[in-house]
C-alpha cells in the first residue's frame, strides 16, 4: 500500500503517487526481461536481495 494513502483519504489519492506506481511497474517489466536472458545463478542471487538489488543493479553487466 502507498504511503500517501495513510496520510489522506483514498479519493484524494495524489496523481504523483499513481505515476510513481506506474514507473515502479515498468521497472519490474524490465527486470523480468533481464532475468529471461540470464542464468539461474544470477536469478537466485537477485531474489535473495529482494527489491534493493534489482533497483541498484538493474543495468549491471552479468
Question: Does residue 12 belong to any structural domain of this protein?
Answer: no
Cell of 16: 504523483
Assigned domain for 50 exists = yes
Q: Is residue 39 part of a domain?
A: yes
pLDDT digits 0-9 by tens, 5-29: 455 555 555 555 656 666 666 666 5
Domain for residue 9, yes or no?
Answer: no
Question: How far, in whole angstroms, is CA 51 from its chain's centroid?
Answer: 6
44 within domain boundaries? yes
Q: Is residue 23 one of the residues assigned to a domain?
A: no
Task: State the total domains in the chain.
Answer: 1
Residue 41 Cα distances to 11, 33, 51, 52, angstroms: 44, 16, 17, 18
Range of the domain at 34: 28-62
pTM of the model: 0.24
Q: Is the pLDDT of residue 42 over 60?
A: no
Q: Are 58 and 31 in contact (CB under 8 A)?
A: yes
Q: Confidence class of residue 56 from pLDDT cuts 50, 70 and 90?
A: very low
Amino acid at each position: 500500500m502507498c504511503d500517501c494513502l495513510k496520510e489522506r483519504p483514498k479519493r484524494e489519492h495524489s496523481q504523483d503517487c499513481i505515476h510513481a506506481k506506474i514507473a515502479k511497474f515498468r521497472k519490474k517489466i524490465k527486470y523480468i526481461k533481464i532475468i529471461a536472458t540470464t542464468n539461474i545463478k544470477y536469478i537466485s542471487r537477485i531474489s535473495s536481495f529482494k527489491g534493493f538489488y534489482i533497483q541498484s543493479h538493474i543495468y549491471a553487466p552479468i
